[in-house]
Amino acid sequence: MGSCKLLLPLLLISSLQVFLVASTEFTVGGEGGWGVQKPNKNRDMYNEWASRNRFKVDDTIHFQYQKDSVMVVTSEEYDKCRSSHPLFYSNNGDTVFTLDRPGLFYFISGVAGHCERGERMIIKVLETEETLPPQSANENSTETSHSSPMPCPTSSVAGAAALLAVSFLA
């Protein structure tokens, strides 16, 4: 009976971690990919796209492009649209970048003139606390319940397996 009391909370916590650790891959620019916008197009397209998404640590950003490149730079280099020493550089046409920390990431094209024509983007990666839903008033309450404990399943292994299976299917 005592081991059951420890097993169920442990399994619940483990199953919740699946939801918290899951990452998402975002394709920059949608079907249009990463590239210079046509003269009459919106030059802030990539920043508008980024502002419509919620990025968290370990999400990935997928850049698809032809005859171009992508660089991660500092804020100052982003403002100047150039970098001689980028933090990250790729020109393989199919780049996946992992957002490995909370904060701001500055992306620009490494091809001369492309950044000035709108091929740049700032992504804000949220702190872990910012990505969790807010607690309800009931969860903040210090009131304790004195009801009888939930009975342990007759087979704690079967109950654990069912709980684990449900958490992976969700």
What pLDDT, in 10s, does the model give residues 103-119? 999 999 999 999 999 99
pTM of this prediction exceeds 0.75 = no
Over 80: is that where the pLDDT of 126 sits? yes
Residue 64 near residue 35, CB atoms below 8 Å: no
**pLDDT at residue 22, as a whole number:** 80
Over 50: is that where the pLDDT of 147 sits? no
Q: In what order do the strands lie in the sheet with 103-108?
A: 55-56, 120-126, 103-108, 70-73, 88-90
Spell out the domain ranges in the chain: 25-131
What CATH fold (topology level) applies to the domain 25-131? Immunoglobulin-like (2.60.40)
Average pLDDT for the chain: 77
CA distances from 103 to 38, 39, 99, 131, 155 (A): 30, 31, 9, 13, 46
pLDDT digits (tens, 9 = 90+) for 58-111: 999 999 999 999 999 999 999 999 999 999 999 999 999 999 999 999 999 999
